[in-house]
Amino acid sequence: MCKMANMLQDQPYKNREHVIAEIKRCAMASSVSSFLSFLFVLIGIIGDALNTTLGLTSLAWFLLAIFAAIHSIVPSIHLVGAKHFLGIETESKK
């Protein structure tokens, strides 16, 4: 219960370095998910062109690609929020 109360603070970030670290982490997560999406599409296309199953059927690879693409949206949205917060903090200091 006490751990949950610490998560629900008025300030979402501790300091500027924490925001920058969060931006880097979200950008990396979004990049990895996007890369996986393209990789899954490529594997699905190759499997369909060869008319063989590369571990999974081509449709399953395309579904994994869709899931990875949707999953990459979440860190991107968090990235936008963190950059917005960093911009507001910079403007308030001026």
Distances from the Cα of 17 to the Cαs of 4, 21, 43, in angstroms? 23, 6, 39
Q: How confident is the model at residue 13 (pLDDT cuts 50, 70, 90)?
A: low
User: What's the number of domains the chain is made of?
Assistant: 1
Share of the chain above pLDDT 70, in %: 78
Q: Tell whether 5 is covered by a domain.
A: no
Is this prediction's pTM over 0.85?
A: no
Q: Tell whether 69 is covered by a domain.
A: yes
Q: Tell whether 37 is covered by a domain.
A: yes
Give the range of the structural domain holding residue 20, as residue numbers without chain letter. Answer: 16-93
Q: Tell whether 59 is covered by a domain.
A: yes
Q: Tell whether 10 is covered by a domain.
A: no
- Whether residue 23 contacts residue 80, with contact meaning beta carbons closer than 8 Å, is answered with no
